[in-house]
Structure 1
């Protein structure tokens, strides 16, 4: 009777071990799905500012921020041209628009904007030369609000652009190499 129980325990242990081994999942702290055995490099062409707005160095700031993010969060080597993963595109939207109006108590004065919204859109052409089914062309956009009653766009523009770019680049990263 004991030998049957021992045999049953050993069999169940082996089956459990095999199931756990077969169902193993690989985790990465950055959330990437990159197979570094076949993908080793990335390249970023200079993005252009086709929006007609924003500061003169905005496209350079975006391009460098994108490069820095991928270098910090992957093991890929940045190359000048023809990387295994290739990024190109343009900033195609830069708008500042009122979001909430504030009524004035004086009937002779018009209502004013209580919140203004800076929105930036970036069209990205992503080419995965190794796994072409993951290539994409998509526009990513994000916004930040500010209060025009206490600050002007000139005072907060660079900070807002940096925050918007961080969000857009995180979305690009997720769509391209994190496959969420």
Structure 2
């Protein structure tokens, strides 16, 4: 296919229009303060975060559940912000600590079985208590519970699905903590 002059001019004008649109779009954003495309709204003087080892106050779940949660938090902050992970000695700009306060399996969605009612689904719910300290702005400090759940079918045991459910639940809880602490959502 051969392009004549009119087609060529139209072809060249589309990238030019796109470039102009991008420039006009980025100029107003550049004046909006400190913002990143991950949603964080961190002041430039905040450089690091400490994540203390979370405790397992309920005794439920895998033996290493508190370590899994602590590591998942650290990974998420490293991947989604410019913050460096600092030791939890009290000198970091942002500080997270807390404990797992709930690990419950409950039956939901009852169905009629041969011997009475059965649960068609079971639900694993994990609750975490978090204390967040911003040493640069005390107004952003909070202490709050976070929880999430995942359902699994009655024909599967918790042992069969536990690791996968914990990953799903922790991902959502970590996302919620991140948003409340550094994205101010």
Q: Which category describes the TM-score, using the shorter chain as reference length? A: 0.7 to 0.9
Distance 1:52 1:38, change over 3 A: same
The 5 A counterparts of 1:129-140 are: 129-140=135-146
- Segment drifting more, 163-172 vs 77-86: 77-86
Paired residue total: 157
**Structure 2 residue 91 is matched with structure 1 residue 68:** no
Cα-to-partner distance string for 1:112-171 (whole Å, 9 max, x where unaligned)? 11010000000000000011110100000000000022x111011011011100000000
The 5 A counterparts of 1:122-133 are: 122-133=128-139
Cα-to-partner distance string for 1:8-67 (whole Å, 9 max, x where unaligned)? xxxxxxxxx9xx8699435421000001x2100110110000023111000000000000
| Cα distance in 1 for residues equivalent to 2:122 and 2:29 | 53
Equivalent of 1:141 in 124, 144, 147: 147
Residue 45 of structure 1 corresponds to 52
What's the C-alpha RMSD, in Å, of the aligned pairs? Answer: 1.8
Calculate the TM-score normalised by the size of structure 1: 0.82
* DSSP 3-state at the match of 1:33: coil
**Structure 2 residue 38 is matched with structure 1 residue 30:** yes
| Cα distance in 1 for residues equivalent to 2:66 and 2:153 | 25
| TM superposition shift of 1:102 | 1.1
| Structure 1 gaps, min length 5 | 1-16
| Structure 2 gaps, min length 5 | 1-23
The 5 A counterparts of 1:60-99 are: 60-80=67-87, 81=89, 82-99=91-108
Residue 11 of structure 1 corresponds to none
**Structure 2 residue 167 is matched with structure 1 residue 162:** yes
Q: Whose radius of gyration is greater, 1 or 2?
A: 1
| Cα distance in 1 for residues equivalent to 2:132 and 2:159 | 32
Residue 123 of structure 2 corresponds to 117
**Structure 2 residue 63 is matched with structure 1 residue 56:** yes
Calculate the TM-score normalised by the size of structure 2: 0.80
